[in-house]
Amino acid sequence: MAMAYCENQDSIRATRVWRERYDEALAIDPGLETYWVGLTGSSKPARWMAQLKNLQASVINPTIGDGRRTRTVYGVEWGTTWGSEIQTDFENPTLMAEDQSGQLPFVYLRNAYEGLTRVMHNCQILTDGSLRFFRPEVTGNSEDDVLAYVRESAGQRCLIVHNLNHQWSRTVSISLVETDSPRVLYDSLSFSLGNGDDSLVSEADNLEVTVRPLQSLVYRLS
């Protein structure tokens, strides 16, 4: 991991790339800008959006990867746990500038990573269970911008749903038998924008989940 970090120290931070892309998207879509300004309360919502994408990518990494290799590496390749856009420089005494780590919205991302770490360590199914993906044609997601999958082990299951879209909420329908009182283990929006609209409807052997733009949800099913 250290070698990979060293080799990539001159690369542009992924968080910066996402922020620049969202800046461009907001500039050409006044309606989208109004939505995110209202949601974040910030005149520069692209930074918040980039941090949510940073977090989303980091939730995907360990919950899809092998637990023996992903427990400690998520977040590293995006920059830092507070979403720094500053490139590291091995010619300087300090590799990272931590001046923003306690400011908004950076501190929200730090808190979100701390929460993610707790969930990953307390729920071993998320890293070590067998993995089953739900194809978009099965979930009714014709736009193919929702990533949904289940990890299960010894009769225990977790459902993970990510809305990769930054513009629209999405609703997916997932068929699962013997689902007992699903509860949210992790909501990526809760650390900065308040709890997302957790609209999960459970009927018989079917779950209907609505996810807001750039939201990731982790449910414990049994």
CATH value at residue 174: 2.60.40.1180
pLDDT, tens digit, 9 for 90 and up, residues 144-179: 999 999 999 888 899 999 999 999 999 999 988 766
Q: What is the pLDDT of residue 193?
A: 84
Q: Is 12 helix (H, G, I), strand (E, B) or coil?
A: coil
Length of the chain: 222
User: Do residue 174 and residue 97 come from a single domain?
Assistant: no
Cα–Cα dist 43/47, whole Å:
10
Q: 24: which residues sit within 8 A by CB, 6+ positions away? A: none
Q: What is the pLDDT of residue 163?
A: 97
User: Do residue 35 and residue 79 come from a single domain?
Assistant: yes
User: Do residue 97 and residue 13 come from a single domain?
Assistant: yes
- pTM score of the predicted model: 0.88
User: Do residue 105 and residue 167 come from a single domain?
Assistant: no
**Domain boundary, last residue among 70, 101, 121:** 121
Nearest Cα residue to 151 out of 211, 207, 67, 213? 67
User: Do residue 165 and residue 100 come from a single domain?
Assistant: no
**Domain boundary, last residue among 73, 92, 121:** 121
User: Do residue 105 and residue 136 come from a single domain?
Assistant: no
Q: What is the pLDDT of residue 129?
A: 85
Q: 4: which residues sit within 8 A by CB, 6+ positions away? A: 77
Q: What is the pLDDT of residue 170?
A: 94
Q: What is the pLDDT of residue 10?
A: 59
Q: Which residues of the chain have pLDDT under 50?
A: 1-5, 7
Q: What is the pLDDT of residue 75?
A: 53
User: Do residue 117 and residue 134 come from a single domain?
Assistant: no
Cα–Cα dist 31/27, whole Å:
10
Q: What is the pLDDT of residue 2?
A: 47
- Structural contact between residues 105 and 192, judged by C-beta atoms closer than 8 angstroms: yes
**Domain boundary, last residue among 121, 148, 183:** 121
The boundaries of the domain holding residue 24 are 2-121
User: Do residue 45 and residue 25 come from a single domain?
Assistant: yes
Nearest Cα residue to 55 out of 215, 207, 194? 215
Number of domains observed in the structure of the chain: 2
